[in-house]
Structure 1
């Protein structure tokens, strides 16, 4: 199991809702056709207001025009990330775009469950408003075993809240794959 995620930060504000993560007009694409799945990555975070995109500078797109994936693999956000509707497409779109982890002060409960249950992205929580000190583009190293985030650009390490089995569930590909791999599924006899 990979215990370190290293990559660039993408910083957002508070109350980023699921319609900002993947706007409703982009929910028309197939989840099983590989060519159409790419469109979820292309439009990930495209509904974020320009003043919140790539904080603190504002106006930095998560996915550049003409691309289907993002150069940013770790999202840093304020409280209430994933609020709004319960659409499973939101964490799916982030995964397709290349996000591997989100670190927020808090999450909407259903968004958090969708991240984990679908095996999409790892939702870490922090007690500190990291979106006030980390900048979009900073190189980060997320140590999932020790629950730490190191900003390699600024040479600062932060403690994150522990996740327990959440990391293993996401890395297994979701709750059902985790249960199968750990013999937690009931079997029926024929």
Structure 2
């Protein structure tokens, strides 16, 4: 008997969600716990209080546009968001997200996924599985980025590799 894939509850937001929506500037002087309490308050006021660990955020195009603040991804990690699924991501946000251990899944057809729907992620098959059985194709997430997510971010991955000696076998090249 094979294990059923984990299903994640979907939260929807539109296109062009900027980093100020994810980590409002007025709270940047506080720690990540306070910043996370205000995550998406301008577009989904209930989000931070109601999101649960394992939920996913599905967005429109250009997710994470704006400034390069790392807290915009870290707030979602702090809230327990499993992944963000969108047709496209801002480049700086993309890098910051993986650096803090947030999985981003690029899916051209993300707009077909509805609020409250349940989805599973099959990263090996490069697809998002809808509860009704439909598979939406997504871009491959490279193994080195998945390693960062599994480790809880780049710094944790480097600490682990330094501790187990694998950093010497896989040096970082500039």
1:5–1:100 CA contact under 8 A, matched in 2:
no
- Give the match for residue 141 of structure 2: 163
- Report the secondary structure of 2:78's partner residue: helix
2:23–2:36 CA contact under 8 A, matched in 1:
no
- 2: CA distance, partners of 1:27 / 1:93: 11
- Give the match for residue 90 of structure 1: 72
Say whether 1:126 aligns with 2:121.
no
- Give the match for residue 45 of structure 1: 40
Change in 2 beyond 3 A, CA 1:146/1:180: farther
Say whether 1:62 aligns with 2:47.
yes
Which residue, out of 122, 128, 131, partners 1:143? 122
1:148-170 deviations in Å (ceiling 9; x for gaps): 21111x43211110011211111
- 2: CA distance, partners of 1:181 / 1:145: 24
Q: Unaligned regions of 5+ residues in structure 1, if any?
A: 32-36, 54-59
Change in 2 beyond 3 A, CA 1:15/1:5: farther
2:24–2:35 CA contact under 8 A, matched in 1:
no
1:40–1:97 CA contact under 8 A, matched in 2:
no
- 1: CA distance, partners of 2:27 / 2:46: 17
Q: Unaligned regions of 5+ residues in structure 2, if any?
A: none
Post-superposition offset of 1:5 = 4.9
- 2: CA distance, partners of 1:20 / 1:92: 13
Which residue, out of 59, 63, 70, partners 1:81? 63
**Larger helix proportion, structure 1 or 2?**
2
Residue-pair matches, total: 159
1:101–1:122 CA contact under 8 A, matched in 2:
yes
Q: Which has the higher contact order (CA 8 A, sep 6+)?
A: 1
- 2: CA distance, partners of 1:178 / 1:5: 24
- 2: CA distance, partners of 1:167 / 1:45: 25
1:37-87 deviations in Å (ceiling 9; x for gaps): 2x2332111122xxxx4xxxxxx7323xxx3x5137111111110000110
1:118–1:170 CA contact under 8 A, matched in 2:
yes
Say whether 1:100 aligns with 2:82.
yes
Question: Given the two structures, how large is their TM-score scaled by the length of structure 2?
Answer: 0.81
- Give the match for residue 57 of structure 1: none
Post-superposition offset of 1:180 = 4.1
